[in-house]
Chains A and B, each alone.
Chain A
Amino acid sequence: MHNITNEQFNNCITAFNEVLVENLIFDKEYTLTIKNNYIKKVNFDKSYLFTSIEMSKKIDSEVIRIDFTVSYHDFYQVPILNIRPYKDGSFTALNGIGLQIAPTVITALTTHHILQKTWIEVHACETLEALQTLPEIYGTTVDSVLEYLCCWFGFYGLPAIFPNIRFRPHLYM
């Protein structure tokens, strides 16, 4: 796959958001609800997608909240996921909300590169190289940047951290 630029990210983020909202599901005993979702443009040609999801258990009243952003990281030249899990309304550790976490994912507490506040970030130093090894799907009418973003989100987005959150967009139907 080709790399994408900040400009391409900005141009495609709205289309990606539509796909994201329609295809994000939780496959276990929780019901996933999107509580907030928007795209914000900020200074210096940067924009980010913000989403707040709540997962409520079907058998009891336990509610888990996760906020996340998708933005373009200028240093790593790839999209990046930042998340904030909440327990009882307070920002907590990744393992503090009782969801299964993928054993291979590498995350770190860091200052969000746009929001300048504390978020958990999925390490991005190998994302560029890894995505370059993926083949592009030719002969479809799907925008290649949208395809890139969907592919990236599958490998380095929420499903990469929480295996029970699925994102399988029907892009090519």
Chain B
Amino acid sequence: MNFTGASSSATTEIKRKLWNGCINIKVVLPHDSEDIEYLINIPRNSYLPIHFQQLISYFQNYVSYEIYKQALWFEYEGVPIAWNLPVGVLYDYLYLPSVIQERGGGGLDQNCWTIQLNLRGKYPAEYIIPFVYTNPDNTINYEQSLNEIIVNQLKQSCFVINGSAKPIMNLSESNSKLLWNSIVTRNLGQFTSLNKKIIPKQFQRIPVKIYIPGSTTVIQAPIHAYEDDKPVTLSRVLQRELPNLFTNDVKLARTYIHGIDISSIMDMPLHDIWTIFRHLDNFLYIIIIAMS
């Protein structure tokens, strides 16, 4: 993929494709002696709790207890899955390394990520954020917890971009609701128009999060868009943050954003990459997969 010098219509087309990018997920509920499976197609920039209602409606047909009243949580290879990250980031962080390793081997379903749904047993609150809000009928209010998380993420990225969280904190109540609604209902036009109120033309810094599968460390990097009047490139950022993996001559890892190997655009200005590839919380999520 190379969009250096791309026209604005080409950029719009890339953004549209990223917005529509999806992951196939097979949700497996162990039940009695057999597994119950549900196939779901989730947008990369969406969040698992947005799709819980759909899962609850399906799995409730197979179990006698009330699913609505207990918190859903998922695991992959024994690891609880953090619902507060975009689904595409979870896939790239937890599953993509196996897909790349197995490519051509045929031992892994490369088109579908299988995760396990847990309904009973202790919710691993120390590892993944618990859902603490309930509705008047005692069912779990997933949306309120997700809203709280995303608003906090937006405040954080807004702070990095503007040097202050005021632009988002000063949004009117109706605009805040519309922004949230545009995320849940996936209304690109409405989201773009409201998000513009948070993002200024002049940047302080660019909010970047770098994940390294196999490591629990996440690099939170607020990056200045320019250094010595020159735009900072993604290569430069990675050489500085991960000097053991990225040097001028040797690259011991591959870089993925939205599941795409972006090796060919590493020398583009980071600001341009952020503009196109940022997630709904305005963070640029980068996954670094070490080459074996």
B-binding residues in A (CB < 8 A): 42-44, 73-77, 84, 91, 93, 108-111, 113-118, 123, 125-126, 129
| Residue contact A116 to B156, C-beta cutoff 8 Å | no
Closest to A126 in B: B165
Instruction: Determine whether the beta carbon of B220 is less than 8 Å from that of A75.
Output: yes
Interface contact B156-A118, CB-CB below 8 Å:
no
A108 in contact with B125 (CB, 8 Å): no
* Distance between Cα atoms of A39 and B126 in the complex (Å): 21
Determine if B222 and A118 form an interchain contact, defined as CB atoms under 8 angstroms apart.
no
Question: How far does the alpha carbon of A115 sit from the alpha carbon of B218 in the complex, in Å?
Answer: 9
> In the bound complex, how far is the Cα of B219 from the Cα of A110, in angstroms?
16
Interface residues on B, range: 20 to 34
Given contacts A44-B217, A111-B82, is CB(A118)–CB(B159) below 8 Å?
Answer: no
Q: How far is the CB of B212 from chain A (nearest CB, A)?
A: 9
B217, A42: Cβ atoms under 8 Å?
yes
Known: A75-B160, A110-B149, A110-B152. 10 other contacts (CB 8 A): A43-B217, A44-B217, A74-B220, A74-B221, A75-B156, A75-B222, A109-B130, A111-B82, A118-B126, A125-B159
Q: Which residues of B contact A93 (CB under 8 A)?
A: 132
A93 CA / B216 CA spacing, docked (Å) = 25
Q: Which residues of B contact A114 (CB under 8 A)?
A: 217
6 tightest A-B CB contacts, nearest first: A125-B165, A43-B217, A74-B220, A116-B216, A125-B155, A109-B129
B249 CB to closest chain A CB, in angstroms?
A: 22
CB within 8 Å of A: which B123-137 residues:
125-130, 132
Given known contacts A43-B217, A75-B220, is B165 in contact with A111 (CB within 8 Å)?
A: no
Tell me, in angstroms, the Cα distance from A123 to B1 when the chains sit together.
39
Decide: A116 near B218, CB < 8 A? Known: A110-B152, A111-B82.
yes
B164 on the interface (CB 8 Å rule)? yes
10 A-B pairs, CB-CB below 8 angstroms? A42-B217, A43-B217, A44-B219, A75-B156, A91-B125, A109-B129, A111-B84, A113-B220, A125-B165, A129-B164
Q: Which of B130, B156, B207, B241 has the most CB of A within 10 A?
A: B156
From B129, B152, B169, B217, A118 is in contact (CB under 8 Å) with B129
- 0/1 per residue, B112-142, Cβ < 8 Å to A? 0000000000000111111010000000000
Contact in complex: B222, A74 (CB < 8 Å): yes
Question: Considering only CB atoms, which chain B residue lies closest to A73 in the complex?
Answer: B220
B148 interface residue (CB < 8 Å to A): yes
User: Which A residues are in CB contact (< 8 Å) with B152?
Assistant: 108, 110, 123
Does A110 lie within 8 Å of B129, measured CB to CB? yes
The minimal Cβ–Cβ distance linking B95 to chain A, given in whole angstroms, is 18
Please indicate the chain A residues that have their CB under 8 angstroms from the CB of B84 in the complex.
Answer: 110-111
Chain A residue with Cβ nearest B156: A75
Q: Which residues of B contact A129 (CB under 8 A)?
A: 164
With the chains together, A129 CA to B169 CA distance in Å?
Answer: 14
How close is B63's CB to chain A, nearest CB, in angstroms? 26
| Least Cβ–Cβ distance between A88 and chain B, in angstroms | 14
CB nearest to A115 among chain B residues = B216
**A31: shortest Cβ distance to chain B, in Å?**
27
Closest to A109 in B: B129
What chain A residues lie within 8 Å of B127 (beta carbons)? 117-118
On whether the beta carbons of A75 and B219 are closer than 8 Å, the reply is no
Q: When chains A and B are docked, how far (Å) is the Cα of A110 from the Cα of B152?
A: 9
